[in-house]
Structure 1
Amino acid sequence: MKIGLMQEQTLKMKMTQELQQAITLLQYSSVDLLSYIQELTMENPLIEVRETYSSPYRKSSSKSDKQSFIENSFEEKPSLREHLRNQLIDFSMTTNDRACLDLLINALDANGYLKDNLVDLARIVNVSEELLESKLYMLQSLEPAGVGARSLQECILLQLRRLPIRNELAETIILDHFRSFAEKSWKDLAKKLNVSIIEIQEIQHEIKKLEPRPGLKFESDESTYVTPDMIVRKTNNELQVIYNDELIPQLLFNQTLEPAILNTMDSETKDFYSKKLTQGRWLQRAIEQRKETMLNVMKVIIQKQHEYFLYGKSLLKPLTLKDIAEALDIHESTVSRTVKDKFIQTPHGLVSMKSFFSNKLDEESGEVSSASVKMKLMEMVNSEDKKKPLSDQKIANELKSRYGINISRRTVTKYREQLNISSSAIRKQY
């Protein structure tokens, strides 16, 4: 056995702090990027920020704003909590009663439902469960009808009881036979209540006019609007991508000092100035690099999904992060960071940048994406005979005969559930 020394040459890339920060910057949403820039301005006196009207932290109400960005911002509306509190202003209540109502209002979720247990909530304000429940009934008497419900069943019942002409049969069905009604066990239900299936069908039509999530029509407390990072425009069948420069604030960077001032600095102050100067220059380069990378990725997406942008969502093709990475000769993780938390205004609406990526179903199906199949599935369900709705197996058969898409019944079931489409038994109308 011989013992000897071997020399091996290896090449390793050391990731600098600036490179790490640039990678982090790339995956930031516009809101996160703005927050990060504002933090840097607090510690770097050389950087100043001039915010634009499109800043994610500002509510724009100017009528002269650019139309392309106005159409993506929702009109400012009161939140559900504000709306409820406004209705209570003129009520004469004790401090304890108001504290109970305030607790209940704060406990509502975005849908307007109360998911917390009353026993646990009562302990917070140190009152009895009975008192808190009486205040819940008061909350449930406010607008919108159905607010404060603890379940879908209670939400529907609260709204039925508010109708100008009350339907006793509908209230009885929802109160005592909700599960049978929801699962469409209507033959047994009709027999039990001594009514016709047609009467139950009519009740279903009335209930469909109600609002299952009454809180959603109000502005969220957490966010005001979504503004696109980029816009894809179609002009004479030509597609153009525009970066929303006004979403990111303009940086005013003081890169020079008078020689007289520099000469008066001690070495420690000069070192501080040099570091902040380097940090400011890096930030400018990193923001420009982020913009360039986003535009490059989006341009390739447009090339790959050309038919989608021109003609609609049903023509979305299979596309992976690897496809974009290979086209741009960059790492797949770079593409992943680029599309994270970014939004694009397309001719077909505002969408997440991630939504352009969809895997191919299988080799037998050809160039068809799962998103495209879901779109076709939804169209088939929307146009079906409601008296004889399509079963999952029939949908699979139709997809194969109409479009040459070969997928199993179980895959259809999975896609249907992801689209929140009920089974054929529940979709059936009499």
Structure 2
Amino acid sequence: MAIGPRLDLRHAQSLVMTPQLRQAIKLLQSSNLEVIAFVEEELERNPLLERDERPDGPPADAHAGREPAAPPPAPADSFESSTAAALPPEGDAPLDIRDWSNVYDDEAPRGGRADFDEDARGIEALAAERPRSLREELGEQLRLTFADPMDRMIGAQLIALLDAAGRLPAPDAAIAAALGCAEARVARIRARMQRFEPVGMFCRSLGECLAVQLAERDRLDPAMAALLRNLEMLARRDMRGLMRACGVDAEDLADMVAELRRLDPKPGAGFDAVPAPSLVPDVLMRPAPIRSGEAGEWLLELNPETLPRVLVNRGFHARALVAASREERAFLSERFQAANWLVKSLEQRANTILKVAAEIVRRQDGFFRHGVAHLRPLILRDVAEAVEMHESTVSRVTANKYIATPRGNFELKYFFTTAIGGTGGETFSAEAIRHRIRSMVAAETPDDILSDDAIVAALRREGVDIARRTVAKYREALRIPSSVQRKREKAVPA
């Protein structure tokens, strides 16, 4: 055997993911906000890309100098005479990002106001009124309550130490040592500031917070004080133990618990909370007009608010190539290809979302017509086979995508649920079973609390073959207490 270097030729196949392919996959699984942010970055980076600011449905002469628009994406397959997906007419197409049709010559007339009308309001009227923060509200009450500068300084320190819930975790002794004053003075000022609006601030525990609010309402009697000392028993729903500790009967305890529920356990949480961003659905769904003798259909379209509208400036690209150097030509060619790739990827993403959503709506038609009890078992492979895509593609499409339906906004992944077998060979959706368990528990009476075994027996009478441990898992996922805890809770209505 000869030992030495050799040169061999071999043929092999391998899958190479280009940066453009990776970016297209990332766009597919990104939410509409992430896609808009990415397009904004591309608009700043690529001089051949421009935002399409034309209004929907422009007049015919507004397209002078531009290539004719391509037809909108083809509607998804019809839903076997029960559901249909459609896009708006060409003039109202929600997606103006097509491969070659949305390139234009920038010498074409641009839109704008012909009368040069401007807003005549003053700048003070344009600025939105900023709501006052919690510390600003407390600071104003501090200045109106205390006249002594030292008291105001102590109060300002207490306001600065508040947490998001309105609690004051630092002890009076530590605050007094830091400010060089008497601890009794800090305690006196803190007790007075606890009556500031909202009442119950500057407390160190939940019990103290509730006690301050009850004292403000003149409801802090010995029985209520005993209830506040035994809040852990209330958390365990040990109503019989609470009746013994407070020395009251069931009716009085129910009134006391109802009084506690009307209080605010975190009085400072509602001031500076950032409002949750509104959910913008990617797909809009509405019922189609009902034809005589036929079942109603569904119409699906992409939400135009979630579709970035960009154009490729072909005229600028052609003029720039005339006087460009070799390096500049290479740069322009690369940017031109990137711009065309972006509009093509956005169009493909939109069509894929619409196609997958249409198949989901077709399969879950019973849910949209009759509710969650009619939700069918569905897995990614079922949709992937129907739309002729890979399961990973369907998984990316349904991630962070929402659909607006007559029953509310839902994430597309919500409609994928595992199957639970039935006694007669039929399968049931796990989400529908969870909904059934919630309904059964909600319909309980204090004298008839259902155990997990009783729930299993009731479901099996309805044809669902389910194990007790599965019922317990679903119940815990729904945050439903055990039958023992529910019996304690419903023994004393509150």
Tell me, yes or no, if the aligned pair for 2:402 and 2:411 is still in contact at 8 Å.
Answer: yes
What secondary structure is seen at the aligned counterpart in 1 of 2:315? coil
Residue pairs, 1:29-108, within 5 angstroms: 29-50=31-52, 83-85=133-135, 87-88=137-138, 90-92=140-142, 98=156, 101=159, 104=162, 107-108=163-164
Percentage of matched positions with identical amino acids = 31
Tell me, yes or no, if the aligned pair for 1:321 and 1:335 is still in contact at 8 Å.
Answer: yes
Aligned length: 392
**1:82/1:422 CA distance change after superposition, 3 Å:** farther
Q: CA deviation at 1:313?
A: 1.6
Q: Which residue of 1 aligns with 2:281?
A: 228
Amino acid of the structure 2 residue aligned with 1:251: V
Q: Which residue of 1 aligns with 2:97?
A: none
Amino acid of the structure 1 residue aligned with 2:224: E
Tell me, yes or no, if the aligned pair for 1:113 and 1:150 is still in contact at 8 Å.
Answer: no
Whole-angstrom distance in 2 between the partners of 1:423 and 1:256: 70
Given the two structures, how large is their TM-score scaled by the length of structure 1? 0.77
Tell me, yes or no, if the aligned pair for 1:84 and 1:142 is still in contact at 8 Å.
Answer: no
Q: Which residue of 2 aligns with 1:247?
A: 306
Amino acid of the structure 2 residue aligned with 1:429: A
Whole-angstrom distance in 2 between the partners of 1:374 and 1:127: 56
Q: CA deviation at 1:378?
A: 1.1
Q: Which residue of 2 aligns with 1:291?
A: 350
Q: Which residue of 1 aligns with 2:14?
A: 12
Whole-angstrom distance in 2 between the partners of 1:367 and 1:220: 44
Tell me, yes or no, if the aligned pair for 1:361 and 1:370 is still in contact at 8 Å.
Answer: yes
Q: Which residue of 2 aligns with 1:410?
A: 469
Q: Deviations over 1:366-392 (max 9, x none)?
A: 321111011111111121113432222
**1:301/1:118 CA distance change after superposition, 3 Å:** farther
Whole-angstrom distance in 1 between the partners of 2:366 and 2:202: 45
Q: CA deviation at 1:249?
A: 2.9
Mean Cα deviation higher: 191-200 or 201-210: 201-210
Confirm or deny that 1:28 pairs with 2:30.
Answer: yes
Confirm or deny that 1:390 pairs with 2:450.
Answer: yes
Whole-angstrom distance in 2 between the partners of 1:20 and 1:11: 19
Residue pairs, 1:126-205, within 5 angstroms: 157=211, 159-162=213-216, 164-166=217-219, 168=221, 171-205=224-258
Confirm or deny that 1:359 pairs with 2:361.
Answer: no
What secondary structure is seen at the aligned counterpart in 1 of 2:13? coil
Tell me, yes or no, if the aligned pair for 1:157 and 1:174 is still in contact at 8 Å.
Answer: no
Whole-angstrom distance in 1 between the partners of 2:345 and 2:470: 43
Whole-angstrom distance in 2 between the partners of 1:51 and 1:405: 55
Q: Which residue of 1 aligns with 2:403?
A: 344
Q: CA deviation at 1:290?
A: 0.8
Mean Cα deviation higher: 319-328 or 204-213: 204-213
Q: CA deviation at 1:13?
A: 2.5
**1:293/1:392 CA distance change after superposition, 3 Å:** same
**1:297/1:255 CA distance change after superposition, 3 Å:** same
Q: Which residue of 2 aligns with 1:369?
A: 429
Whole-angstrom distance in 2 between the partners of 1:47 and 1:321: 36
Q: CA deviation at 1:12?
A: 2.5
Q: CA deviation at 1:144?
A: 5.6
Q: Deviations over 1:76-105 (max 9, x none)?
A: x999x955245236345667855763563x
**1:372/1:191 CA distance change after superposition, 3 Å:** same
Tell me, yes or no, if the aligned pair for 2:373 and 2:432 is still in contact at 8 Å.
Answer: yes
Whole-angstrom distance in 2 between the partners of 1:148 and 1:336: 49
Larger Rg: 2
Tell me, yes or no, if the aligned pair for 2:48 and 2:317 is still in contact at 8 Å.
Answer: no
> What 5-or-longer segments of structure 1 have no aligned partner?
54-76
Mean Cα deviation higher: 26-35 or 191-200: 191-200
Q: Deviations over 1:231-276 (max 9, x none)?
A: 2212332112121022233213212337554221111111111111
Whole-angstrom distance in 1 between the partners of 2:455 and 2:203: 36
Tell me, yes or no, if the aligned pair for 1:118 and 1:132 is still in contact at 8 Å.
Answer: no
Given the two structures, how large is their TM-score scaled by the length of structure 2? 0.68
Q: CA deviation at 1:188?
A: 2.8
**1:326/1:138 CA distance change after superposition, 3 Å:** farther
Whole-angstrom distance in 2 between the partners of 1:339 and 1:139: 51
Q: CA deviation at 1:29?
A: 0.6
Q: Which residue of 2 aligns with 1:72?
A: none
Tell me, yes or no, if the aligned pair for 1:231 and 1:243 is still in contact at 8 Å.
Answer: yes
Whole-angstrom distance in 2 between the partners of 1:304 and 1:206: 48
Tell me, yes or no, if the aligned pair for 2:286 and 2:405 is still in contact at 8 Å.
Answer: yes
Tell me, yes or no, if the aligned pair for 2:422 and 2:463 is still in contact at 8 Å.
Answer: no
Q: CA deviation at 1:34?
A: 0.9
What secondary structure is seen at the aligned counterpart in 1 of 2:427? coil
What secondary structure is seen at the aligned counterpart in 1 of 2:316? coil
**1:258/1:43 CA distance change after superposition, 3 Å:** closer
Whole-angstrom distance in 2 between the partners of 1:212 and 1:159: 10
Tell me, yes or no, if the aligned pair for 1:231 and 1:344 is still in contact at 8 Å.
Answer: yes
Mean Cα deviation higher: 268-277 or 187-196: 187-196
Q: Deviations over 1:141-185 (max 9, x none)?
A: 5666667877765665565455x4525366324421112222222
Q: Deviations over 1:316-346 (max 9, x none)?
A: 1111112211222212111111111111111
Whole-angstrom distance in 1 between the partners of 2:326 and 2:40: 28
What secondary structure is seen at the aligned counterpart in 2 of 1:204? helix
Q: CA deviation at 1:426?
A: 2.9
**1:288/1:261 CA distance change after superposition, 3 Å:** closer
Tell me, yes or no, if the aligned pair for 1:229 and 1:343 is still in contact at 8 Å.
Answer: yes
**1:259/1:194 CA distance change after superposition, 3 Å:** closer
**1:85/1:233 CA distance change after superposition, 3 Å:** farther
Tell me, yes or no, if the aligned pair for 1:101 and 1:135 is still in contact at 8 Å.
Answer: no
**1:390/1:33 CA distance change after superposition, 3 Å:** same
> What 5-or-longer segments of structure 2 have no aligned partner?
2-6, 56-127, 144-151, 291-295
